[in-house]
Amino acid sequence: MTARGCNRTVLVVEDDRDVREAIAEVLADSRYVALHAANGAEALQRLRAAPVRPCVILLDVMMPTMDGWQFRAEQQRDPSVKDIPVVVLSAHSDASEAAAKMEAAGYLTKPVALETLLGVVERFCAPDKE
Amino acid sequence: MIDSTALLAPFGDAQLAIGGIRHYAIFLLDPHGTVVSWNEGAQAIKGYSASEIVGQSSARFYTREDVLAGRHAQLLARAAQEGRVEDEGWRVRKDGSRFWADVVITAIRGADGALRGFVKITRDLTERKRGEEALRQGEERMRLMIDSVQEYAIFMLDPTGRVASWNSGAERLKGYTAPEIVGQSFSRFYPEPEVRAGKPERELEIAEREGRFQEEGWRVRKDGSRFWASVVLSAVRDELGTLVGFTKVTRDMSDRKLAEEAMLERTRQQGAVAQLGVFAVEQPAVDAVIHRAIDTVRDTLGTERVQVLELSDDGNSLTLRGGCGVDPAGVGRLAVAVDRGSQLLSPEPDPQGFPLAGLLDEQAFPSGITVVIRASARPLGVYGMLCAHTAVRRAFNGDDVNFLRSVANVIAAAIERRRMEEQVRVAERRMQEERVRTAQVQEALRERDEFISVAAHELRTPLTALQLKLQGLERGLRAAAPEKSAGSKVGGRLEGALRQTKRLSHLIERLLDVSRIAAGRLELAPERFDLAELVRQVAEDFREPAAETGTELRLHGAQRMEGCWDRLRMEQVLVNLLSNAVKYGAGRPVSVRLESAGERIRISVVDEGIGIAPEDLGRIFTRFERAAPVRNYAGLGLGLYISRYIVDAHGGRIEVSSRPGQGSTFVIDLPLVAALVTLPGQGPRQARA
């Protein structure tokens, strides 16, 4: 299920700046390229403007302006980005439920352990030394 | 001896006629009374033939008694002297039988005036005599009968209404003797106002016109007292239809009249009580009922003074709650009377029906009834009393007392109802307040639970960033110098920081459990596994922290315990119990025992630590409770609350026994297969103790 040509790029859609930066940092430590978006609208913009398609989108659910649900709906309407896998990232225990409804590829529950995060992202990105 | 021919000469031809007369005995006597002639009538009446009697003395026609009395000679002598004598009396026939005779004896004198003899004419009046005798006896019997009648006054009035006869019943009933009343007008038997109104005369007129007048009414005795009389006045007329007077039959109906009046009075009293009762049902105000009761008593008993007096709680004074005809100064005296200790609260009223008669004001109100108004809620069981007093001396009867008691009962019922309504109102007000308070408490708890939920979720976000950064750092450090990182100063501090994030993470998870329990959303996912194995794993995980406090962990009992439970939740319970045992076990051994009996299993966690005070045992399973002093031990005290919920949700029980200073024993009892129990959300109320 690895998206080819994604060049280890991950889009992090998260309204909390600290969380967004922490994820970006640890992903960077593992030689991933993290794109940031503070809400669904920004994420759509990023997706459409990005020179490289991300391998996976880590999507928070509760966000201002445009939440995860709306983003996911927009994404699925846009053929150019609709097949990029989404992993739901939520502080709520209903993360698995939300992921199923959004037809997401997986979910992570906050606080997420580093190993868990890297393990999931790795599933969608081409190995580093390929 | 007289020659009969000469004697009969003056009669001439009449002799023939006399001889043939049959209904009269006509015969002649000589001056000595010897029979000298005889006719057919004499033979028919007396039974002798002429030949038998002529020449005989006429004395034989008399009864023996009359002869002995010389009556025969007397009559002849009077006839001789007076010329004629008439007599009625018994005479005797030839056969000895008697007959009632009308006798006329006429002397016959010669021209010289010398007595020549007598003509005797005798008529048989026996039949008439018999009729007269029967009539006389009948009248006598009637008179005796009327005289002897005691129950009825039977007397006659003349046509003008004067008393003409009098019997013993009349004397007994009216009090007059015959000499006192005969000749007096019967109007004196009537009450004065009726006499003035002309009633007696009117009654006579009616009786005269219609033959009869009948009525019931008051009559007056000689002594002025009244009685209720039943009177029948009948006109008496002779055979020509002339009014000769009236008969009057009078009977004393006073007893019946009094009984009727008592019945009427009782009916009136009962009606008045019933009306008062209806009023009391419709009218909730006690004062209104009391005032209506006072009016009812006054109007029904006709008592000038009616009072409702309320007794003070100590039973020593009375307060006027309502009354009519009341002198306020009198109430003060009443209060004093009670103060002196009358028999006010004697449980049984005076058998005469005049309890509390001491409350009477002898001079102004000489007669009266006083009854107690009962009230169960009062200290003495008495609300007060109801008094009905009269300004004139008067007798009351049992009906009057019963009436007043009934009125007092209506007042008592009104007071009792008012009291109960008041209680209901108070209870409703309290319930309403309680509802509001409960709603407020529930709202506060709901807000708290919501806050816990929001806070827990909010805490997860910074924790996520913190944990990722620390884990990233640790990972970087290990990658840079794998062999040194574990023991280095930075590595040690980093490890400590990570332990704190893990602890934070646990606390947040527990808070979320609490909010799930509150919302009824903590759901179990049972699976089949070996609980003994899980116990061993958890115990293994506790080796290290137990060793830090010098605590020895001992496992006893079953090696294998297959069943169906929520593995993660059961692990959570075991971790909680072991963590508590190690934390509060004071370094002494902690043992875990596994037992299985039939379809149930039992896990006991026993420590020998500080124990739990008895007053705390009941609440350690509730939220935010922690028996141990806060400054000594950390933690939010949610563990046991959550553990209990989890065990309950499995259909099991968790119990604790403990003695301060000797340790605690927690026992979990579970069905082999979780009998999933849906527990309601526990947000609004305290978890069960």
Distance set, CA B55 to CA B46, B193, B297 (Å): 15, 81, 104
Burial of B587 (0-12, 13-18, 19+ CB in 10 A): middle
Is the Cβ of B512 closer than 8 Å to some Cβ of chain A?
A: yes
Minimum mean pLDDT range among B90-104, B311-325, B574-588: B311-325
Give the model confidence (pLDDT) of B555-572 as tens digits: 998 888 899 999 999 999
In chain B, whose CA is at the least distance from the CA of A116? B468
Supply the pLDDT for residue B205: 92
> Contact A111/B476, CB-based, under 8 Å?
no
Q: Which of B461, B475, B516 sits opposite A91 (nearest CB)?
A: B461
Q: Would you state the torsion angle of the CA atoms of residues B371, B377, B379, B381, taken in this order, to the nearest 10 degrees?
A: 30
Mutation target among B458, B461, B478, B522 for the A interface, most CBs of A within 10 A: B461
Written as one letter, the residue type at B27 is F
**Phi and psi of B297, rounded to 5°?**
-65, -45
* Cα A84 versus chain centre, distance: 9
Chain B residue numbers touching A61 (CB-CB < 8 A): none
Domain regions of chain A by residue span? 9-121
* B630: confidence class by pLDDT, cuts 50, 70, 90: very low
Say if residue B139's pLDDT is above 60: yes
Interface test with A, best of B468, B470, B513 (most A CBs within 10 A): B468
Out of A25, A111, A115, closest to residue B463 by CB: A111
- Measure the CA–CA gap between B30 and B120, rounded to whole angstroms: 11
Yes or no: say if B30 and B1 are a contact pair by the CB < 8 Å rule: yes
Are B516 and A112 an interchain contact pair (Cβ–Cβ within 8 Å)? no
The 3-state DSSP class for residue A38 equals coil
Q: Best interface-test mutation with B: which of A114, A117, A121 has the largest number of B CBs within 10 A? A: A114
The sign of the CA dihedral B427, B433, B434, B436 is positive
Size (chain A), residues: 130
Domain A9-121 is in which class? alpha beta
Is the predicted pLDDT of residue B349 greater than 80, yes or no?
no
Chain B partners within 8 Å of A26 (Cβ): 468-469, 471-472, 475
Residue B362's pLDDT band (boundaries 50, 70, 90)? low
Contact yes or no for A29 and B472 at CB 8 A: yes
Answer with the residue of higher pLDDT: B537 or B19.
Answer: B537
pLDDT at B357 over 80: no
Q: Is the Cβ pair B465, A26 closer than 8 Å?
A: no
| Residues B661 and B598 sit within 8 Å (Cβ to Cβ) | no
Give the pairing type, strands A106-109 and A86-90.
parallel
Model confidence over A25-64: pLDDT tens digits?
999 999 999 999 999 999 999 998 878 889 999 999 988 8
Chain B residues near residue A110 by CB distance under 8 angstroms: 460-461, 463-464
Q: Rounded to whole angstroms, how far apart are CA atoms A29 and B475?
A: 9
pLDDT for the residue B1? 47
Cβ–Cβ below 8 Å for B472 and A26: yes
Banded model confidence at residue B654, pLDDT cuts 50, 70, 90: very high
CB contact, 8 Å: B659 with chain A?
no
Q: Tell me how far apart the alpha carbons of residues A106 and A85 are, in angstroms, rounded to a whole number.
A: 9
What local confidence, expressed as pLDDT, does residue B346 receive? Answer: 35
DSSP character at residue B248: E
> Is pLDDT above 50 for B55?
yes
Q: Do residue B476 and residue A29 have CB atoms under 8 angstroms apart?
A: yes
Other C-beta atoms lying within 10 Å of the C-beta of residue B199: 16
The helix/strand/coil state of A34 is strand
Nearest to A114 among B460, B472, B512 (CB): B472
> Which of B453-462, B472-481, B485-494, B641-650 has the lowest average pLDDT?
B485-494
Residue B530's pLDDT is what?
93
Which DSSP string corresponds to B522-577?
A: -----EEEEHHHHHHHHHHHHHHHHHHTTPPEEEEE-S--EEEE-HHHHHHHHHHH
Whether the model pTM is above 0.90: no
Distance CA B56, CA B543 (A): 181
Mean pLDDT of B360-370: 70
* Average pLDDT for B352-369: 57
**pLDDT at residue B636 in the model:** 46
Question: What is the residue-averaged pLDDT of chain A?
Answer: 88
Asked if B507 has any chain A CB less than 8 Å from its own CB, the reply is: no
Q: With beta carbons under 8 A apart, name residues in chain B contacting A21.
A: 465
The secondary structure of B255-288 as a DSSP string is HHHHHHHHHHHHHHHHHHHHHHHHHHHH---HHH
- Please indicate if any CB of chain A lies within 8 Å of the CB of B476: yes
Q: Are B54 and B35 in contact (CB under 8 A)?
A: yes
What is the C-alpha to C-alpha distance for residues B613 and B473, in angstroms, rounded to an integer?
A: 46
**Measured torsion, CA atoms of residues B322, B326, B330, B335, in degrees rounded to the nearest 10:** -10
Burial zone of B538 (CB within 10 Å; 0-12 exposed, 13-18 middle, 19+ buried): buried
Cα separation, B346 vs B488, in Å, equals 100
A37-54 burial string, b = 16+ CB within 10 Å, else e? Answer: bbbbbbbbebbeeeeebb
Q: CB distance from B455 to chain A under 8 Å? A: no
Asked if B506 reaches chain A (Cβ–Cβ under 8 Å), the answer is: no
Q: Higher-confidence residue: B332 or B458?
A: B458
Instruction: Point out the residue among B457, B464, B501 whose CB comes nearest to the CB of A19.
Output: B464
List residues in chain A touching B: CB distance below 8 A.
Answer: 16, 18-19, 21-23, 25-26, 29, 91-93, 110-115, 117
Q: Model confidence at B18, in pLDDT bands (50, 70, 90)? A: low
DSSP output for B407-430: HHHHHHHHHHHHHHHHHHHHHHHH
Six-digit token pair at A70? 């709306």
Written in H, E and C, the secondary structure of B206-246 is HHHHHCEEEEEEEEECCCCCEEEEEEEEEEEECCCCCEEEE
How far, in Å, are B310, B349, B381 from residue B313 at the CA level? Answer: 9, 20, 10
**Where does residue B687 fall: left (phi above 0), alpha (psi -120 to 50 degrees), or beta otherwise?**
beta
Q: Give the pLDDT score at A127.
A: 64
CB contact under 8 A, B457 and A92: yes
Residue A70 half-sphere exposure toward CB, CA atoms < 13 A: 12
**Least confidently predicted of B150-154, B417-421, B534-538, B609-613:** B150-154
The C-alpha of B675 sits at a distance from chain A's nearest C-alpha, in angstroms, of 25
If you average pLDDT over residues B466-495, what whole number do you get?
A: 81
Q: What is the helix (H) or strand (E) element at residue B336, kind and residue range?
A: helix B328-339
Q: Is the pLDDT of residue B620 over 90?
A: no
Q: What does the pLDDT read at residue B29?
A: 92
Q: How far is A117 from chain B (nearest CA, A)?
A: 9
B97-124 pLDDT per residue, tens:
989 899 999 999 888 888 889 999 998 8
Q: Rounded distance, CA B304 to CA B309, Å?
A: 16
Range B659-679 average pLDDT: 86
Instruction: Give the pLDDT score at B35.
Output: 93
Q: What is the pLDDT of residue B361?
A: 58
**Quick one: closest CA in A to B471, which residue?**
A114
Q: How far is B614 from chain A (nearest CA, A)?
A: 38
Q: What is the mean pLDDT of residues B348-362?
A: 44
Q: Report chain B's mean pLDDT, rounded to a whole number.
A: 82
Give the residue from A65, A125, A119, A63 showing the smallest Cα distance to A90: A63
Share of chain B above pLDDT 90, in %: 31
Chain A residues touching residue B455 (CB < 8 angstroms): none
Task: Give the per-residue pLDDT at B339.
Answer: 35
The minimum CA-CA distance between A98 and chain B, rounded to whole Å, is: 16
Question: How many Cβ pairs closer than 8 A exist between chain A and B?
Answer: 62
Mutate to test the interface with B, among A10, A15, A17, A19 (most CBs of B within 10 A): A19
Is the CB of residue B235 less than 8 Å from the CB of residue B211? yes
C-alpha to C-alpha distance for B671 and B651, rounded to whole angstroms:
7
Q: Comparing C-alpha atoms, which of B315, B312, B325 is closest to residue B368?
A: B325
The CA distance from B644 to B623, in Å, is: 11
Closest CA to B499 of B567, B543, B545, B458: B545
The residue ranges of DSSP E strands in B30-114, in sequence order, are 84-92, 98-109
The SS3 assignment for A53 reads coil
Residue B682 confidence class, pLDDT cut points 50, 70, 90: low
Chain A residues lying within 8 Å of B460, measured CB to CB: 91, 110-111
Chain A environment of B458 (Cβ under 8 Å): 91
* Domains with residue ranges and CATH for chain B: 4-129 (3.30.450.20), 149-252 (3.30.450.20), 264-410 (3.30.450.40), 522-671 (3.30.565.10)
Q: So what's the pLDDT on residue B353?
A: 36
Contact state of A110 with B464 under an 8 Å Cβ cutoff: yes
A14 Cα to chain B: minimum distance (Å): 10
Q: Residue A16 is nearest to which of B461, B475, B516, comparing CB atoms?
A: B461
Q: Which of A25, A93, A117 faces B512 most closely, judged by CB atoms?
A: A93
Specify the DSSP element, H or E, that contains B388: strand B382-390
The CB density around residue B533, as the number of other CB atoms within 10 Å, is 13
Residues of chain B neighbouring A115 (CB-CB closer than 8 A):
471
B465 touches A at CB < 8 Å: yes
